Structure 1
Amino acid sequence: MNQDNLIKIFRVFVVVALIISLFINFNLLSRLEQIEFQVNQITTNQHNMMSEVSGQSNHIRDVMQDIKQQQSWISNIKMDLDAKKFENGQGEAAFEWQVKELEPGSEVVFHYAFGKIDEFTEIPAEEIQKGLYRASVPIEMDLKPRWEVDMRMDKQALEEQMEQYRLKYFVSVSYDEQSKSSEIQTKDIGDFGTSYYGILQVDLHKDQNNINVRFVNHHINESSFQIKEATIQKYENDTFIGEEKLELEPENNPPEERIGMYKMHQIEQYENMRLVMKVVYDNGKTFEKEIY
C-alpha cells in the first residue's frame, strides 16, 4: 500500500471520527438541555409549592385568629384618652369591652397598674348594656410636645417618660368559686401629648459670628393645638437680656401638610450665650426648651 492510500484512509478515519464526535456532542447537548429544562421545571414547581404552602399557612393563621377571636369569652379592650379633658395634668382613661360568656350574678372587675407600680388596682366595671362594660381610670400626666433639638433626641429621657406613663390592664370575671381573666394588655401613653401639641423641631447652624435657627412645628393630627407665638429668649448666663420673635413662612405651610415652618432666624453670637425657645399655644399653654 503506497503512501497516497494511507493518507486517504487516514482522512476517512478522521472524517468518520469527527462525525461520531459531533453526534456524541449533539446527544450530550440535547441531554444537558433536557436536564436543564427538568431542573428549571423542578425549581418552578418547588417555588409554586412553597408559595402555595405559604399562602395556605397565612390563610390558616388568619382563620385561626378569627376563630380564636370568635371563641374568646371577651372582646378586645378599647381605650379612649382625650387630651382636651385633661385639666392641670389630671384626666382619665376610659375603657370599654364586651363579655361574651357571662353567668347571671357574675362580678366583672377591671384591673390596672400605672407607671412603675407593678401592683394592680381593682375597680368594679360598669355595665352599660347587656354584656358591654366600661371602666374609667384616673390619670395624672403632663401633656407636652416632643422637642427635637438639632435632630438629636434624648432617647433615654424619652424611654424613662414612656416607662413612667405605661399602663397595664386586664379584666376578670368571677362567678361562685370560678374565676377567669383576660390577657394583660400594655399601653404606653408617655408620648400622648405629642398628638395634641405636635413635634417641635429646632435645627441650629453655627458660623463664625452667628447662630442660625430653623424652627418647624409638626402637627400629628387635625385636633392638634396651634402655636400662637414662638420666640427665642436670650440669656447671658442666667441674666435675661431680650427676646426675638420667629415669623411663619406662609408659602411653605399648606394646611393639608400639617406643618408650621418658620423663617430662618439669625442671632449674633456673644459671650456666655444661652438660648431658650418659648412657644405659646392657642389654649394658653406655654412650653420652654433650652436649645443652646
Structure 2
Amino acid sequence: MEKDQYIKGFRLFILIALIISLIINVMMFSKIKNVEEEIRYLTENQTMLSNSVNSQSGMIQQELDQFIEEQSWISPVTMETDKKQLANGSTDITFAWQLKVFHKDSEVMFHYKYGKTEEFIEIPANEETEGMFQVQVPVEMELKPEWQVNVHASSGNSHSLKEISKQEMESLEEENQISYFVSVSHDGLVKQSRQQSEHLGYLGTNSYGSLFSDVNFNEDDVRVHVYYHNVSNQDNIVEKVTLLKYQEDSLLEEKQFTLRGEEMRDRPFDLKPFKKYDNMRLVIKVEYTDGTIFEKQVYPNEVK
C-alpha cells in the first residue's frame, strides 16, 4: 500500500514537472519569436538606412562631379563618326570640345594615336565658334564582324586554347583603339586634358554583327557550332556558313552548316560531328547576303 502511494506520488511529480517544462518551453518560444521579430526589424532598418546613405552618397557624388565639370577649364571631348564613309573602310572622326578658360592667342592642339602606334600625332584644332573647337581625324580600318572562338577539349589542352583566344581578343581591342587628349599652350605654359580612349571595333560589329564559334572535342569526335548575332537588325546577315577542313595546308573537303531557326535573330548553324584526324586545321567561312565573305581559323586557334 505504501509502495502504491509512493508510485502515485512519483507519477504526480513527473506530471507536474512536464507541465512546468511545457510552460517554460512555450515562454521561451515566445521570447525567441520576439527576439527574431526584433532582429528582423533591426535588419530592415539597417537596410533602409544603408539604402538612404547610398542614395545620398550618389547624389553628393553626382553634384560633386557636376561641380568639378563646371569648374574645369575644358569640357569632355565628344567623338562622332561619319557612318556613310564606313563602307569604303575609312571614315573621318570628328572630335569636339569647349574651352571654358583660355587666351585668344593660345595654341590649341589635339593629340591622338590609333591602333598599335606608340607615338601621338598632334594636329592644330579649329575654333568653330567662340570657345568651341573641333578636329577631324581620318581613320582607316577593316570592317569585320566581332568573332569570338571558344575551344573545349576533354584533354589538358583546353585551358591553353582558351588562353590563346583571350590573347587574340586583346590584340583586336588594341588594334581598334584610339587614344587622345587636348593641350593648350600660352606664354610657355602648357595645360593638358586627361587622356581618353575609345574602341572602334563596334563600327564593324554594327555593320556585320557578332559571330561565336564553338569547337568541342569529345574523345575522337569534333563538333563545331556557329552562332550569328544581328546586332543592329541589319538586312545584310549571314546566310551561309562553311567549314573548310585542312590537313596542314591541303584542303580535304568543305562541309556546309545547317541553319536552325530561319526566323531567329540569333542564327544558329550546326554541323554533323566528324572524326578528329592528324594535322587537323579548321577554317570557318561565312557569307553575307550582300556577298561579303569572311574566313577565320578556329583550330588551332592562332593569334594573328
Per the normalisation by structure 1, the TM-score is: 0.69
**CA 286–71 in structure 1, closer or farther in 2 if over 3 Å, else same:** same
User: Is contact 1:86–1:92 with CA below 8 Å preserved after alignment?
Assistant: no
The equivalent of 2:255 in structure 1 is 244
The equivalent of 2:129 in structure 1 is 129
**CA 87–42 in structure 1, closer or farther in 2 if over 3 Å, else same:** closer
AA aligned to 1:281 is Y
1:166 matched to 2:177:
yes
How far did 1:64 drift?
0.8
1:156 matched to 2:143:
no
The equivalent of 1:230 in structure 2 is 241
Distance 1:95 1:281 in 2: 33
Distance 1:117 1:236 in 2: 36
The equivalent of 1:265 in structure 2 is 271
Distance 2:92 2:61 in 1: 36
User: Is contact 1:167–1:188 with CA below 8 Å preserved after alignment?
Assistant: yes
**Partner deviation per Cα, 1:24-59 (whole Å, 9 max, x = no partner):** xxxxx9xx99xx79x979888776655544433322
Distance 1:52 1:62 in 2: 15
Distance 1:123 1:98 in 2: 17
The equivalent of 1:288 in structure 2 is 295
Distance 2:94 2:134 in 1: 7
The equivalent of 2:285 in structure 1 is 278
The equivalent of 2:148 in structure 1 is 147
- Over aligned residues, Cα RMSD in angstroms? 3.8
User: Is contact 1:83–1:196 with CA below 8 Å preserved after alignment?
Assistant: no
How far did 1:155 drift?
0.6
How far did 1:268 drift?
4.3
**CA 238–113 in structure 1, closer or farther in 2 if over 3 Å, else same:** closer
AA aligned to 1:261 is P
**CA 57–210 in structure 1, closer or farther in 2 if over 3 Å, else same:** closer
Larger displacement relative to structure 2 (41-50 or 183-192): 41-50
Distance 2:53 2:219 in 1: 64
AA aligned to 1:96 is A
**CA 42–109 in structure 1, closer or farther in 2 if over 3 Å, else same:** same
SS in 1 for 2:267: strand
User: Is contact 1:83–1:143 with CA below 8 Å preserved after alignment?
Assistant: no
The equivalent of 1:196 in structure 2 is 207
**Partner deviation per Cα, 1:114-133 (whole Å, 9 max, x = no partner):** 33444322101123333322
User: Is contact 2:241–2:285 with CA below 8 Å preserved after alignment?
Assistant: yes
SS in 1 for 2:167: helix
SS in 2 for 1:291: strand
How far did 1:182 drift?
1.4
How far did 1:185 drift?
1.0
Runs of at least 5 residues in structure 2 that lack an aligned partner in the other structure? 1-27, 153-161, 300-304
Larger displacement relative to structure 2 (189-198 or 108-117): 189-198
**CA 234–49 in structure 1, closer or farther in 2 if over 3 Å, else same:** closer
The equivalent of 2:58 in structure 1 is 58
Distance 2:43 2:211 in 1: 54
Aligned residues: 256
**CA 271–63 in structure 1, closer or farther in 2 if over 3 Å, else same:** closer
SS in 2 for 1:75: coil
**CA 44–221 in structure 1, closer or farther in 2 if over 3 Å, else same:** closer
Distance 1:42 1:266 in 2: 60
The equivalent of 1:138 in structure 2 is 138
**CA 291–179 in structure 1, closer or farther in 2 if over 3 Å, else same:** closer
Per the normalisation by structure 2, the TM-score is: 0.67
How far did 1:271 drift?
4.6
Distance 1:248 1:43 in 2: 53
How far did 1:220 drift?
2.5
Distance 1:46 1:210 in 2: 56
Runs of at least 5 residues in structure 1 that lack an aligned partner in the other structure? 1-28
Distance 2:52 2:276 in 1: 69
How far did 1:232 drift?
1.8
Percent identity between matched residues is 34
SS in 1 for 2:259: coil
